C-alpha cells in the first residue's frame, strides 16, 4: 500500500518557506555574533569600561532571546499546529514578542552607533543628532 501525501489546501511555500529561510539566515548570523563576542572578550575588551562590557553582553542575550522567539514561532506553526489552516492566520505569541525585541535590539545598536560617532568626532553633535533623529523616526514608524 502506497502512502500518498495530500495536497495542501493553500500554497505554503511563500509563507513558511521564507520564514524558514529567515530562521536559517538568522541562525548563521547568530553564529557570527557568537564569534564576535568571543573575539571581543578574549582580545579587544581590556581597555573598555565595565558598562560597555555589560552592554555588549546584554545585546548578545537579547539577540539569543530574539532567535529563540523566532524559532519558537516557526515551530508552533509548522509542528504544533500542523495542518491547522485556521492557525496560519493567527500570529503566535512568540512572533509578536520577537517583533518588539527586534525593534529594541536594532534601536539600541543604532543609538550606540550614534554615541560612538559622537565620541570619535570629538563631541561634535551634528552627525550623532542626525543619526539619533533617524533612529527615533524609524522606531516610531515600526511601532
| Range among 84-88, 92-96, 119-123 with highest mean pLDDT value | 92-96
Question: What would the DSSP string read from start to end of 38-94?
Answer: HHIIIII-TTS-HHHHHHHHHHHHHHHHHHHHHHHHHHIIIIITTT-TTGGGS--HH
C-alpha cell at 41: 572578550
The pTM of the full predicted model, rounded to 2 decimals, is 0.83
Task: Identify the band that residue 4 occupies on the pLDDT scale cut at 50, 70 and 90.
Answer: low
- 2 pLDDT higher than 70: no
Could you identify the residue written with the cell 575588551?
45
Task: Identify the band that residue 3 occupies on the pLDDT scale cut at 50, 70 and 90.
Answer: low
- The domain ranges of the chain are 13-142
Mean pLDDT over 66-79 rounds to 94
- 7 pLDDT higher than 70: no
Please name the helix (run of DSSP H) or strand (run of DSSP E) that holds residue 95, with its range, or none.
helix 93-120
Number of C-beta neighbours around residue 83 at 10 A: 8
Separation of alpha carbons 99 and 95, rounded Å? 6
- 143 pLDDT higher than 70: no
Per-position b or e across 126-138, b if 16+ CB within 10 A of its CB? eebeebbeebeee
Per-position b or e across 40-52, b if 16+ CB within 10 A of its CB? beeeeeeeeeeee
pLDDT cut 90: percent of the chain above it:
55
Comparing CA positions, the residue from 110, 13, 104 lying closest to residue 118 is 110
Amino acid at each position: 500500500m502506497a502512502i500518498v501525501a495530500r495536497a495542501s489546501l493553500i500554497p505554503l511555500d511563500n509563507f513558511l518557506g521564507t520564514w524558514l529561510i529567515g530562521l536559517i539566515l538568522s541562525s548563521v548570523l547568530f553564529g557570527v555574533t557568537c564569534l564576535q563576542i568571543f573575539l571581543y572578550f578574549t582580545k579587544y575588551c581590556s581597555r573598555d569600561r565595565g558598562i560597555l562590557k555589560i552592554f555588549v553582553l546584554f545585546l548578545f542575550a537579547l539577540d539569543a532571546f530574539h532567535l529563540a522567539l523566532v524559532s519558537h514561532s516557526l515551530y508552533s506553526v509548522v509542528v504544533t499546529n500542523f495542518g491547522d489552516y485556521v492557525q496560519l492566520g493567527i500570529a503566535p505569541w512568540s512572533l509578536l514578542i520577537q517583533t518588539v525585541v527586534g525593534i529594541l535590539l536594532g534601536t539600541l545598536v543604532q543609538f550606540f552607533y550614534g554615541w560612538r560617532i559622537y565620541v570619535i568626532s570629538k563631541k561634535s553633535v551634528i552627525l550623532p543628532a542626525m543619526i539619533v533623529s533617524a533612529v527615533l523616526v524609524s522606531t516610531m514608524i515600526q511601532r
